[in-house]
Amino acid sequence: MYENIKICPGYQFAGISCGLKAGGALDLALLLSDCPAVAAAVFTQNQFPAAPVIWGRKQIAEGNNLRAALINSGNANACTGHQGEVDVATVAEVLAAALQLNPVDIFISSTGVIGEPFPVTTVLKGIESLVDNLAEKITGFRALESAARAIMTTDKSPKIVGIEVETSQGRVTLTGIAKGAGMIHPDMATMLAYILTDVKIDRLIWQEMLHRVVNKSFNRISVDGDMSTNDTVLALANGVSGCGLTTSSDLEILEAALLQVAHELAVMIVKDGEGATKAVEIKVVGASGVEAAEKICRSVANSALVKTAFFGQDANWGRIIAAVGYAGVELDPELVNISFDQVRVVSGGVRDPHYREEDGSAVLRQPEFSVKIDLQSGEDEFTLLTSDLTHDYISINADYRS
C-alpha cells in the first residue's frame, strides 16, 4: 500500500502518544519545515468552527509563511468558547519557544470529540516529548508514518501519498497525509489533510491552486452527509528544491500533481469510511449544467436508502431513480438511463428490457463499482465518490465517546 512513496525533502515529522487517547495510541503529530514555507489552506464551512480553525484562518488571511503544523487527535477543541482559543495560542507559544520560532509560525489542528474542554496541560507536556522525538533524528517513512497515525481517530489505517514530478526547473516532490473516516461530506469533512512540497511558488497562486484542487477532490466525497467543525486542508511549499515555478506549463504540472495527491487521499478516506465495505463512483452525465449534475450526484450519493442498498448488494435501482427525482433538478424522466458499471439497468426512465437482476447484483458484490446516470439533456457532468452505510457505522458512532 505504501510502496514507492516519495518523502518531500526539507521537512521533519514526528508522532507520539501524549495521553489524549486511551491505550497509548499515537495522538500528537508535528510537521516541521526546515525553512519558512508558503502556506495555503481551505477550512470547514461549518458555522461552529473549532478554535484551531479560527487561528489558522487568521494566519492564512494575513499571508503568514509557516514553519510547523501541530496536530492532535482525541479532542476537537470545538465549541470550547474563548478558552479554546486561548489554549490554541498557549500551545503555539510553547511549541514556538521549544523550536525557537514565533507563535505565528505554528499552524494548529485538532480532531476528536466536540465540546469537551481542551486538555491543554496534557498537550503541553507532550510537546516536550515531541521535540525530543525530532532530536532523536527519526527520519524517513518511519517518522512520516508516525505523524500520519497520530492524527487518526476512527481511521483503520494511515493515509499517505508521495510522488515526484518533472518540471522545466527540475524534479519536485509532493507528500501528503490525511485522516478521515466519518463525518465525511462536501465542503470537506471531519478530515484533516496536509500536503507538503519543495517548490517555490507565489502565495496567491498557491492558494488559488489549492482551492481548485480541493473542489475536485476532497469536496467530491461523501461517507455520511455530515460536515465537521474542524475540517482543514493545509498545503506548504518551502522551496528547498530551488525550483521556482512561474510558467503556465510548470504550474499546470504542479496542479496536476497536487490534484493527484489530493484525489488519492480522498479515495483513501472513502475506502476507510466508518464501517464501509464499498467505494462507489456516482457519475451524472448529459446534464444541462454542472450545477444540475452536482445536485443529482449529491442526492444519490447521500441517500441513506441508496447507501444501505449498496451494503446489502441489493440492485434496487428504484432508490437511485427516486433520489434523482427529488434532487430539485428539472429533467425529462423519459430520457434518463442508469447503469451499474457496464450493465444498463434503466433505459428511458424504466427498467431496461434486457436487464437481468443477477447481472446488477453481480456488480454490487464488488468492493468498487460505478453508478452512471445519463440525463441526455446536455453536455455537463459531475462525479462524486461515496461509500455504503453499514451496521458497523452505527456501532462505531453509537459509542464514539466511550
Report the catalytic residues: 190
Say how far apart CA 129 and CA 142 lie, in whole Å.
17
Say how far apart CA 159 and CA 143 lie, in whole Å.
14
Please name every residue paired with 174 in a beta bridge, in sequence order, or none if there are none.
Answer: 163, 197
367 exposure class (CB count in 10 Å sphere: 0-12, 13-18, 19+): exposed
**φ, ψ dihedrals at 162, nearest 5°:** -150, 125
C-alpha cell at 306: 441508496
Say how far apart CA 26 and CA 147 lie, in whole Å.
8
Q: In what helix (H) or strand (E) does residue 109 lie, and over which residues does it extend? A: strand 106-113
Looking only at Cα atoms, what is the longest distance across the chain?
71
Q: Measured between alpha carbons, how far is residue 212 from residues 22, 66, 181, 220, 315 in Å?
A: 38, 21, 23, 12, 35
Give the closest residue to 355 by CA, choosing from 321, 386, 316, 325: 316
**φ, ψ dihedrals at 394, nearest 5°:** -65, -45
Residues 158 and 177 sit within 8 Å (Cβ to Cβ)? yes
